[in-house]
A and B are shown apart, each in its own frame.
Chain A
C-alpha cells in the first residue's frame, strides 16, 4: 500500500471551467476526508465520508462543490464554474480509527484558477 494518492498534483484552469479531482485512500480505511488549504493557513474541513455515505459537508462547500465516493473506495471532488477564490491546495485524507490512528494525508492537488 502506497498511502493516499491524489490526482492530479497540479491543475490550472480558466475561471468558469469545471474541474474534478480524484483521491484513492488506503484500501482498508473506511473514512475519507477532504480539506482545503489556502496560502498561509491551516487546512479547513470540507467534507467527510464513512464508506460511501457522505456524512457531513462544511458550510465552506458551496453548491458549486460536489463530492462522491462510489462503492466506498476512491472519491472525487468536483468544482463547477470555478472562481479565482477556489485557488487552493485540496487535500484528501483517510483513516480507519480517527482517534488512535489519526489521518493519513495525500500530497494534495494544487488548483490555480486564472
Chain B
C-alpha cells in the first residue's frame, strides 16, 4: 500500500510570513494525494487534492501544493499566513477507497 511521510512535526511561523509543509509519498504508477486541515477538537477539512493534470494545485484559504513526480513529493505552501491558520495539517494518499494519513504537521502562527 502507498504511504506518505510528513517531514516536519512542528512548524512555527510568524504572521504574514510564508510557510511550506513537506510531504513525500511512496512511489506508485498512479497516485491521488490530499491535504487536510484539522482545527482543535474538530474533524478534518479538505484543503486541496491532486488527481491528475496540472502539478500545481490550488486549494481553499490561499493554500497551494505542487505535485513533483520525480521527487515523489506533494508540498503544501501558503505565501502569507494568518493567526487563523494555526492548526494541524495532514497529507494523505488514497489506496483504493482508503485514505492513509501522515503523522501530521502542527503549524503555530505567532503575531
Contacts and interface: CB of A to CB of B under 8 A. Distances in A.
Interface of A: 4, 6, 31, 33, 35, 40-45, 48, 56, 91, 93, 95, 98-100, 102-108, 110
Contacts of A31: 97
B104 A42 contact: yes
16 contacts: A6-B43, A31-B97, A40-B104, A42-B92, A42-B104, A43-B44, A45-B98, A91-B44, A102-B34, A102-B46, A103-B44, A105-B44, A107-B41, A107-B43, A108-B42, A108-B43
A42 B101 CA distance: 5
B32 A99 contact: yes
Interface string B95-111: 00111111110000000
Contacts, number: 57
Contacts of A42: 90, 92, 101-104
A51 to B, nearest CB: 13
Interface string B1-40: 0000000000000000000000000000000101010000
Most chain B beta-carbon contacts within 10 A, residue among A33, A103, A107: A103
A4 B43 CA distance: 10
Contacts of A99: 32, 51, 94
Nearest to B43: A105
Contacts of B103: 40-42
Contacts of B101: 42-44
A40 B46 CA distance: 19
A29 B70 CA distance: 35
Interface in B37-57: 41-46, 49, 51
Nearest to A58: B98
